Amino acid sequence: MESLHRRDFLKKSAASTAGMMVSAPMIAKSPAQKSPNDTINVAVAGIRSRGFEYGGGGHCVNLAKIPGVRIVKLCDVDERLFSKTVADLEKITGHKAKTEVDFRRLLDDKDIDAISIATPDHWHALQTIWACQAGKDVYVEKPVSYNIDEGRKMVQAARKYNRVVQAGTQSRSSPVVHEAVKLIRQGVLGEVYMGKAFVYRFRENIGHKEDSPIPEGVHWDMFLGPAPYRPFNENRFHYQWHWVWDTSTTEFGNNGTHGMDRIRMAMNKRVHPEKIHCAGNLYNRRGSDQEVPNFQAATFEYGDGIILELEVRCLDTNPEGGEREGSLIYGTEGWMYLNHTVFRTYLGRKSQPGPSLTGREMNPPVEQLELLHFGNWIDCVRSRKWQDLNADILEGHMSTAMMHLGNIAYRTGRKLHFNPTSEKFVNDEDANSFLTRDYRPPYVVPDSV
């Protein structure tokens, strides 16, 4: 079977996606919103790696490309990053951004319209809630929260204060993914009964390091924020925070969120699973400061019988001829491999190639998915229509919650039963204790937002 009758499909794809990629919606001006011609002043919180350049996928470099957006402040707990980052940004934008180490000072700045958050996972919820309460719109990286209770409160804050809050699950802005979803909904795979996401990404052993004095320019208390206080250690700071429980959501949260979010979108799963099991371990890390597992495999069972799976491996795994990460969707007539810029289908008992599409085949091509995602957020900031977000905070919460459920099943060591409505485990005080955390004042997620 020719790839989706390729010529006709590509014509239709070009027509249907070009508008999404290059044009902004028509906006009627009202006293409650800025004119489409007004500048949107943005602050970026967390400027190392993902927050700035990140191989073209960073917050600053993409926001700087959007007309009518001005990055006015950079916020980070490590002052040592400011000099170079401010200079690099000035080369891109032509103006010099101000700097701040305390996120709360951004909230007091009435010139800031929106905040783009690329801080560590354990800060995402509190910063998002604070920003909503201060009348700022938010772009927040995945995973959107450190625990399930935080995610629900982020949704509540966004709705209560009428804020536009986009989750950093960029696949939801991919025209390729939208075409794949359309095919699945049309029945090309038959009745869909299962999905699996996988991430095979090698991670170096961080080894062991002794606690040390706090480096000059590092605001360590501010970095820890809601987490328990522990002495400064390089293996708990820049990026290494991913490998300790106080600040990490494991590789499930770090990258598994993307794969499961695509599956949820494709299969239209808008509720939580009811039964969760997760196994895993920490391998080949003797003497290492790493606390979280580097291998996990979870199963999520829904009330309607649908089963989703997630497997992550941070070991030296390179499946010959295979993919390092992606989403697999299984139906009674075939299956699909799906990533943010490609899908391939295989039909029938012999898995004959069916419809497929890559970003390079689109017209215009999907060259910078992150730019599409940030652009969608800015469009909605202007229109004030959070309903038009490609990745509204509710969707971010639902996908991130799955990662938390898997981690809780791993940490308790047993199959768990979850009530999707109450967002509580059934008759399980031990599991429910992981739904929130003891916060370190003054960095406390409020009981009521």
336-392 per-position pLDDT tens digit: 999 999 999 999 988 999 999 998 888 777 768 999 999 999 999 999 999 999 999
For residue 120, give both structure tokens.
């560590």
User: What is the rounded average pLDDT of the residues 285-312?
Assistant: 96
Residue 7's pLDDT is: 37
At 35, the pLDDT band (50, 70, 90 cuts) reads low
CB atoms within 10 A of CB 64: 18
Query: pLDDT over 90 for what percent of the chain?
Result: 84
All structural domains of the chain: 23-171+376-391 (3.40.50.720), 173-366+395-431 (3.30.360.10)
Residue 107 and residue 134 in contact, taking contact as beta carbons nearer than 8 Å: yes
Residue 250 and residue 293 in contact, taking contact as beta carbons nearer than 8 Å: yes
Mean predicted lDDT score pLDDT of the chain: 91
Instruction: Enumerate residues 6+ apart whose C-beta is below 8 A from 419.
Output: 274, 425, 426
Residue 318's pLDDT is: 65
In the three-class reduction of DSSP (H, G, I as helix; E, B as strand; rest coil), residue 129 is classed as helix
Residue 151's pLDDT is: 98
Which of 194, 184, 197 lies closest to 354, judged by CA? 184
d(Cα 105, Cα 131) in Å, to the nearest integer? Answer: 11
Which of 389, 45, 414, 17 lies closest to 178, judged by CA? 17
Length of the chain: 449
d(Cα 7, Cα 72) in Å, to the nearest integer? Answer: 45
At 319, the pLDDT band (50, 70, 90 cuts) reads low
Least confident among 21-25, 122-126, 333-337: 21-25
d(Cα 237, Cα 212) in Å, to the nearest integer? Answer: 12
Residue 88 has pLDDT above 80, yes or no: yes
At 37, the pLDDT band (50, 70, 90 cuts) reads low
Residue 417 has pLDDT above 60, yes or no: yes
β-strands 342-347, 334-338: how paired?
Answer: antiparallel
| Cis geometry, peptide bond prior to residue 175 (ω within 30 degrees of 0) | no
Q: If you search the block for the tokens 């191989």, which residue do you land on?
A: 55
User: What is the rounded average pLDDT of the residues 298-315?
Assistant: 96
208-228 per-position pLDDT tens digit: 999 999 999 999 999 999 999
152-207 per-position pLDDT tens digit: 999 999 999 999 999 999 999 999 999 999 999 999 999 999 999 999 999 999 99
Residue 272 has pLDDT above 60, yes or no: yes
For residue 326, give both structure tokens.
């992606």
